């Protein structure tokens, strides 16, 4: 049975000193709006509203679908509130800035800086000729982004939903990490009957189990999966499927004519199913990324060029999906 979707707040709705302008996105865990404050400053507002626990048919009233779901909803609300409180103390150019968070309408709202630009997912989709995202851009985006992720980890928080759709490229070319998933992960990992809220292909194997095995290495898997998508044009196979039969594409043999072996090897290490075999910290990964970028690119052989041309002609373009 399909879980009914919650109705978003109406355009023009007054939420404290913010006026809702339009719906930006809606998922199983939350709804995100574009709004303006009393000075007409644009902000993004994230509303905690999991479809599997509560239902809003119209207006602003939120109704739990059962007494048990009400208890789970309140537990998730607390996790979401704590996540917002932690993020509000992080001020970093590569992490979405949380400006405010508050309770209203029997739920919690997180007010964030509204970013202009486009997602990395859009950048990947534009590479429809299967040439992939340029290596210099990959190294620039992720080396810079990792500065922000390092700050997140220093604040004892994990992102747990790193993927192309959650990385925004501003108009000046700088990346910013959006839409944290730690509150979602906490809620679903503690209550097995709830629908998991991670993204297949980008979620590490340990995200399918209990939260006590999660750590910086879990986000590093997401970083590796996102870099993989930049090159291959699609997400890696889901981790749970890989545990049964690993059909991960060998990037070196498929794309070795376009990308440095150091970069491809680093991505392979990030995507190891065994968490102990991945880079264990962001600084360690940044060091590897910097070293990969410092070496001159090797001259591509005629054989590799011909093989690449053949692959381009015989393979349909792939696109990243959320």
pLDDT value, residue 311: 52
CATH 1.10.510.10 domain extents, the chain: 117-314
Q: What is the DSSP string of 109-143?
A: EEEEEPP-EEEHHHHHHH-TTTT-S-HHHHHHHHH
- What contacts 9, CB < 8 A, 6 or more positions away? 15, 20, 31, 33, 47, 60
> Residue 247 corresponds to which tokens in the numbers above?
């059909």
117-314 maps to which CATH number?
Answer: 1.10.510.10
pLDDT value, residue 65: 84
CATH 3.30.200.20 domain extents, the chain: 16-113
Digit-by-digit pLDDT tens for the chain (322 residues) are 455 678 999 999 999 999 999 999 888 888 999 999 999 999 999 999 988 889 898 888 888 888 888 988 888 888 888 888 888 899 999 999 999 999 999 999 999 999 888 999 998 988 755 577 899 999 999 999 999 999 999 988 889 899 999 999 998 999 999 888 666 655 555 555 455 567 899 999 998 876 678 999 999 999 999 999 999 999 999 999 999 999 999 999 999 998 999 999 999 999 999 999 999 999 989 988 887 555 544 444 444 444 554 454 444 444 444 3
113-143: per-residue pLDDT in tens? Answer: 998 889 999 989 887 555 778 999 999 999 9
205-237: per-residue pLDDT in tens? Answer: 998 876 678 999 999 999 999 999 999 999 999
16-113 maps to which CATH number?
Answer: 3.30.200.20
Task: Estimate the share of the chain in helix, then strand, then coil, as percent rounded to the nearest 5.
Answer: 40, 15, 40
pTM of the model: 0.83
């Amino acid at each position: 049975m399909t879980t009914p979707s919650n109705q978003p707040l109406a355009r023009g709705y007054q939420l404290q000193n913010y006026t809702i302008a339009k719906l930006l996105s809606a998922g199983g865990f939350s709804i995100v709006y574009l709004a303006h404050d009393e000075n007409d400053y644009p902000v993004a507002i994230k509303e905690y509203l999991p479809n599997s626990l509560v239902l809003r048919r119209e207006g602003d009233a939120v109704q739990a679908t059962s007494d048990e779901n009400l208890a789970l909803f309140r537990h998730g609300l607390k996790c979401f509130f704590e996540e917002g409180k932690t993020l509000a103390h992080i001020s970093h150019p590569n992490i979405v800035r949380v400006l405010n968070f508050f309770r209203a309408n029997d739920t919690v709202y997180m007010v964030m800086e509204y970013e202009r630009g486009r997602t990395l997912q859009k950048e990947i989709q534009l590479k429809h000729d299967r040439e992939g995202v340029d290596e210099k851009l990959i190294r620039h985006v992720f080396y810079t982004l990792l500065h922000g992720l390092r700050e997140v980890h220093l604040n004892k928080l994990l992102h747990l939903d790193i993927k192309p759709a959650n990385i925004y490229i501003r108009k000046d070319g700088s990346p910013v990490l959006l839409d944290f998933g730690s509150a979602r992960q906490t809620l679903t990992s503690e209550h097995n009957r709830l629908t998991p809220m991670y993204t297949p292909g980008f979620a590490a194997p340990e995200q399918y189990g209990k939260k006590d095995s999660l750590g910086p290495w879990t986000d590093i898997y997401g970083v590796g999966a996102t870099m993989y998508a930049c090159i291959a044009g699609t997400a890696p196979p889901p981790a749970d499927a890989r545990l049964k039969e690993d059909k991960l594409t060998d990037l070196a043999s498929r794309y070795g004519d376009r990308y440095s072996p150091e970069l491809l090897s680093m991505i392979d290490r990030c995507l190891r199913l065994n968490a102990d075999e991945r880079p264990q910290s962001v600084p360690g990964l940044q060091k590897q990324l910097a070293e990969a970028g410092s070496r001159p690119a090797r001259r591509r052989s005629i054989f590799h060029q011909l093989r690449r041309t053949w692959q381009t002609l015989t393979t349909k373009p792939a696109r990243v999906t959320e």
